[in-house]
Chain A
């Protein structure tokens, strides 16, 4: 039979996580004999819309995409629906007036990731019940969905605990350089008061760890470091004892996506929401887990 054609519009290549995501999807497509039309949006929603329009024009079998933003998809998804092309969302959700515009959403739950980071800290705080833990937060890009959700999820969990206080919160744009730069400023401004660093991704945490070391402090001990994503670099840092925990955000969606696409085309019912398998990796399991990491 004719091979299945999937049009996939990726956000861009802004981070290691994203590239791992892309690689996973491309590899899975190759393995399953699916023809993949891949378009990179260079972080722009309008480019994604253009790509989806061109997928419609090419009459692909399934359209999948990781939306840059949540809102603003009604029109183009309506066009896809009129052209009878099913749409699968990956990694990030969308807000549309009519949920039938997409078939299913496969991906992680950023709010849940934030909550997990928060829960780990709440547990950890129980070890030193009397001490107040001052937290500094390195946010992702201002306004981006992961930054908003990870912040909200984290705050939701720690809100009930008066011993946990966020004293500084600033954006580090998800990058190592900015993470380091901002952390340096935090250290100068707050000094030894800082007990915990919560970074919205591993890259910023790794940058910040360097800043902490250069300030003569021990990351992981003097300052607890919590981050999200679970990339290789984070595991290396945990093995070195500089990072305490990373909350996994799994980019390896390829195989699941291919399966969903096949089911959808075959007319099988699929759940509206497919959550990816994700774990929390504290430092003590890092060495054991490290060889298993693919990205």
Chain B
């Protein structure tokens, strides 16, 4: 019956991608211990997918309420910039030897960055839930202005961070695995628990499917929608910290550029409908992994950069079509013999 589980198809797609890697890229699955931690392509993919997974988790809930948040990338830039500026540090030349000085205690910097992200979410939430603007337009405003704000903070410069502990977030290792994976796991588990063990999941779905009925049943629809946008931005905020920490600098111009599109793509590849309602958190995580694996595969196979986009789009088309119920019916019609074997 596993075949009918909603998670099956995204998983299958991921497996097929990995299979292609296995055949095409020698040593793709090779893992070794280097400097006391695991090292290899798979680790890279997971590590690099971490921000995308976080964004996708947040986006899943927004999409479940029939919304969309295209300001994720801008939020990433803002939170990353705030953190980098506060932790910051400058290099001073001291008799020809470089020395690093930190500015603000790291926890304050992190809290401020998350605060900025939550503020972004509150802004979006207020526009969507409070004013009733259409989500895509409401978040378009922050998408445009947010990156500008981040650039304003940095004067358009890349802020390099020289504070070692800060790097742990995005490129540190714990028990041999990248620390970012623990963060992602924690966010995922907390979110999943929130959805399962509280009524939040039910409420979000109800609001997404039939907001009028939900309100008449006594749900605080506006509060729920507001919360969802704040949550999404908070996820983006963490993603921003991770990206900043990983490249040891905040690039307000480019950090998280187009991350929103990838996040939305991940959510859909994971089997959540953009029409709202039923959602699939685990699916979104797998969707994000699919995207990152695909990107990584393109790099590893050594395709010329001109064909990147074509390959990516073709794969997305194929995955989407193969996931659709209609395709399944067609397939069954075309290959009736396979029915018994596959449907089990």
Proximity bits, A1-26, B CB within 8 Å = 1, else 0:
00000000000011110110010000
Inter-chain CA distance A272–B296, complex, in Å, is 45
Inter-chain CA distance A215–B171, complex, in Å, is 12
CB of A170 within 8 A of CB of B299, answer: yes
CB of A188 within 8 A of CB of B40, answer: yes
Which residues of B (5-46) have their CB < 8 Å from a CB of A?
Answer: 25, 27-28, 34-35, 39-41, 44
Interface with B: A68-76, A152-160, A232-240, which one?
Answer: A232-240
Asked if A150 is at the interface (CB within 8 A of a chain B CB), the reply is no
| Interchain nearest-CB distance for B17 vs A (Å) | 15
Inter-chain CA distance A204–B144, complex, in Å, is 25
CB-CB < 8 A to B39: which residues of A?
215-216
Which residues of A (11-66) have their CB < 8 Å from a CB of B?
Answer: 13-16, 18-19, 22
Asked if A180 is at the interface (CB within 8 A of a chain B CB), the reply is yes
Asked if B306 is at the interface (CB within 8 A of a chain A CB), the reply is yes
Asked if B251 is at the interface (CB within 8 A of a chain A CB), the reply is yes
Interface with B: A108-116, A118-126, A171-179, A275-283, which one?
Answer: A171-179
Inter-chain CA distance A175–B295, complex, in Å, is 16
Instruction: Please judge, given known A-B contacts A185-B300, A233-B160, whether A169 and B91 are in contact too, CB under 8 Å.
Output: no
CB of A210 within 8 A of CB of B247, answer: yes
Interface size bracket, A side: 35 or more
Inter-chain CA distance A182–B157, complex, in Å, is 23
CB of A176 within 8 A of CB of B171, answer: no
Proximity bits, A194-221, B CB within 8 Å = 1, else 0:
0000000001001100100011100000
Instruction: Please judge, given known A-B contacts A176-B249, A184-B44, A214-B171, whether A13 and B305 are in contact too, CB under 8 Å.
Output: no
Task: Please report whether the interface of chain B is mostly helix, strand, loop or mixed according to DSSP.
Answer: mixed
| Interchain nearest-CB distance for B147 vs A (Å) | 9
Which of B41, B156, B257, B305 has the most chain A CB atoms inside 10 A of its CB? Answer: B305
Cβ 8 A contact of B253, one of A15, A181, A206, A287 = A15
CB of B251 within 8 A of CB of A177, answer: yes
Tally of contact residues, B, Cβ under 8 A: 40
CB of B300 within 8 A of CB of A177, answer: no
Asked if A189 is at the interface (CB within 8 A of a chain B CB), the reply is yes
| Interchain nearest-CB distance for A242 vs B (Å) | 12
Cβ 8 A contact of B98, one of A171, A206, A215, A240 = A240
CB-CB < 8 A to B44: which residues of A?
184-185, 188
CB of A13 within 8 A of CB of B151, answer: yes
Inter-chain CA distance A256–B247, complex, in Å, is 35
- Chain B residues in contact with chain A, CB under 8 A? 25, 27-28, 34-35, 39-41, 44, 48, 91, 93, 96, 98, 151, 155-158, 160, 171, 243, 246-249, 251, 253-255, 257, 295-296, 299-300, 302, 304-306, 308
